[in-house]
Structure 1
Amino acid sequence: MNRRTFAAAVVAVAVALSAGAGFSLDLELSPYKPVRALSGHLKSVGSDTMLHEMELWAEGFKAFYSGVKIEIEGKGSNTAPPALLSGEAQLGPMSRQMTPDEIAAFETKYGYKPTAVLVAVDALAIYVHKDNPVQCLTMEQLDRIFAENPKSAGGKSAHTWGEVGVTGEWAAKPIAMFGRNTLSGTNKFFKLNVLGGGDFKDAVRQQAGSEAVVKAVAADPGAIGYSGIGYKTDDVRAVPVAASFGKTCYDASFENTYTRKYPLARGLYVYILKDPKTPMDTLSGEFVKYVLSKDGQTQAKKGGYYPITRNIREHELARLGLIALAE
């Protein structure tokens, strides 16, 4: 997909803003309309970031179809491609896009590329303890905090809060770093977008889940970590981020995320196997329609993520050949 749908939404917003129309996104989605009774089994293997969301969607979908069983496993985005490739799963939620090598493996086996469905929008939040006074961090400062060999500031690493601009009694406090493990798409996204593909410091304490990162930060006043905005609690703060020194800091709000002012905005995807020459199977198709409906996107908001727009929904349904069955 190469973020085309997300980019298209951003362009539309930018045009509206430049025309003086103010910030506006069409979030009026049609409710899901169930079809005849469905039965069968779906399995989802992939993102931990999206685990709670997939559980909400599964429960909502099964409320319409008692004969449907949905099995969900969420250990990390890196587990989705092999599960789809082996046929173990029909759904592969990922908090990042597939790599060229992962896509090539599908083409080699199936003769076509996997299909990514944009199902929600997320801000990868930078969390600190609720008492930490830091007001803003730049992408360069995050690189200096987390990278083994920072590409910013002449390669100078940051080890204390004073080295990233915090004054007073916090200046000498060591920075304790928490992040996701290597199975995680969030780990890969952060590594690519913040560290420029470089390596993490050995001192970064890897956590198996998104919630675990936030809990670790909440328990350590000197800590910093990254996780999806849907995992925010009252015990941590999501720090505003600036693209570079001298640029404006933006928090991870809905508006800032959709307009990409917040530098760590990202799409959340469910990958499926769909032969472009044949229709999508009914069960998987109805599940996707539910996720992209008002019902499904209400669950996305409940999970702490940002919903898709009407334009994105229509684009995705048309691309999948499902638009004739949806409003």
Structure 2
Amino acid sequence: MMRRLLPVSTAILLAISCMSSTASPEFDLSRLPSYQPQQQVSGSIRNFGFGLGGLLKDWEDGFRKFHPDIQFDDRLPTSDAAIPALVTGVTDLAPDGGEATLTETLSFFETYGHYPTDITVASGAYDVEGRSNGLVVYVSKDNPISKLTIEQLDGIFGAARTGGLRGFKWTLADGRDARKDIRTWGQLGLKGAWANKPIHTYGHAPSGTSRFFQWKVLENGDKWNPDYEEFVETGSKMIGDADRVKQHGGLQYMLSDRLAHDPYGIAWTVVPQASKVTGIKPIALAPRGGGSFVVPSRASFQSREYPLVRSIYIYLNRTPGQAVEPKLKEFLRYVLSREGQEAVVKNGNYLPLTAAVVSEQRKKLE
């Protein structure tokens, strides 16, 4: 049964969505543990992957104040190199701006017989372009819809499926039948002239961002609404010359030329792509399984109350039952400390973790 949709002030939604990060209050990190070394470490730590917009260097500089005999050997071309470097054994830590892919996880498992250990070290950005931004759902400003659940998003953007992936394992528990497809606005509670109008769906073409949407919304299924129109991220290296000439295919085109003029459309994207587009509004979302509807904002991204926030990771190869190497453990404990998360705030590319997430991640090191 669909939830009855309650009105939310569009003006408030737009004001919060367009809020500049410089206007947001400073984050309170007082509940995070201050870094206290468990032991002095020395030697070299190899990092292979992504430099996280300079944040990894900031962490290294801060860590050396406590452990001056530690050295870092960094090779930081791209997130795409992180897990492969871990698989081939040429790194100790693999900083990555996104989730491991199916083939990366499977490759690692086939090599070592266990999953890579993922440590969440920051939250993805709200409005800083190109920094693993969380996802926001938009509709035309003329559309009366204001709230949706993740289950409803699944019904809108997905299709009937027999199952979904958990890691690289297929599970029938994540399947659903066509009765949960949502194809008209009336199925979402809209009345009158809206009731029988078809829903037009828009979003990203295959990418790390779309994999995240499939994971969080489609339960790692790959069955999309047949109506779904995908667009390549504006300014990305995925846009070919022909598309550039035509100025067609970019997300800003999708939002400004399509969604803004389509009262029956709905799109998911990231705030930097939508921030300069008029005629659209963001939607508040409730998590899968129930909970409050949350408006997308920098604050709700940082608190992780908003259900489509992304994570930034450092992966390592830890054999189950074996201790984490002391120098790696100390470095990751520093990252997951008040000092480490203060560096996230100062760097400005990502959002700092909450005390609850820090506590959860530190337990993975024990």
TM-score by length of 1: 0.60
Percent identity for Structure 1 against Structure 2: 19
| 2:229 aligns with one of 200, 203, 207 | 203
**Once the 2 structures are TM-superposed, how far is the Cα of residue 293 of structure 1 from its aligned partner?**
2.3
Give 5+ residue unaligned stretches, structure 1. Answer: 1-23, 46-50, 322-327
> 2:223 is paired with a residue of what secondary structure?
coil
Name the CA distance, whole Å, in 1 between partners of 2:211 and 2:311.
14
1:105-144 superposed matches below 5 A = 105-121=107-123, 124-128=134-138, 134-144=145-155
- Identify which of 35, 47, 50 aligns with 1:42: 47
Query: Alignment partner of 2:202: what SS?
Result: strand
C-alpha separation between the residues in 2 aligned to 1:287 and 1:217?
43
Within-5 A mapping of 1:52-201: 54-64=52-62, 68-74=72-78, 80-89=82-91, 90-93=93-96, 95-96=98-99, 105-121=107-123, 124-128=134-138, 134-147=145-158, 155-157=181-183, 165=190, 175=200, 177-179=202-204, 181-182=206-207, 184=208, 186-196=209-219, 197-200=221-224, 201=226
Q: Which residue is 1:320 aligned to?
A: 365
How far apart, in 2, do the equivalents of 1:245 and 1:110 lie? 35
Report the Cα offset of residue 56 of structure 1: 3.5
Q: Distance in 2 between matches of 1:216 and 1:298?
A: 37
- Work out the number of aligned pairs and report it: 278
Q: Work out whether residues 118 and 315 of structure 2, in 8 Å CA contact, stay in contact via their aligned partners in 1.
A: yes
| CA distance in 2: counterparts of 1:214 and 1:279, whole angstroms | 42
SS of aligned partner of 1:303 = coil
Per-residue deviation, 1:273 = 1.3
Residue 305 in 1 paired to residue 351 in 2? Answer: yes
Partner of 1:291: 335
Give per-residue Cα distances to partners, 1:82-113, cap 9 Å, x unaligned: 342123543152644776x8656435433554
Give the letter for the 1:240 counterpart. A
User: In structure 2, do the counterparts of structure 1 residues 68 and 104 end up closer, same or farther at CA, with 3 Å as the change threshold?
Assistant: closer
Matched, 1:30 2:75: no
Aligned twin of 1:277: 322
Aligned CA distance change for structure 1 residues 95 and 75 (closer, same or farther; 3 Å):
closer
**Bigger radius of gyration:** 2
Displacement of 1:272 after TM fit? 0.8
Amino acid at match of 1:226: T
Structure 2 regions of 5+ residues with no counterpart?
Answer: 1-27, 125-132, 162-176, 239-248, 261-266
Contact 2:302 2:354 in 1 (8 A): no
Amino acid at match of 2:86: L
Calculate the aligned-residue CA RMSD, in Å.
5.0
Aligned in 2, Cα 1:260/1:30: closer, same or farther, shift over 3 Å? Answer: closer
Mark the CA change 1:38 to 1:226 in structure 2 (over 3 Å): closer, same or farther.
Answer: farther
Contact 2:122 2:313 in 1 (8 A): yes
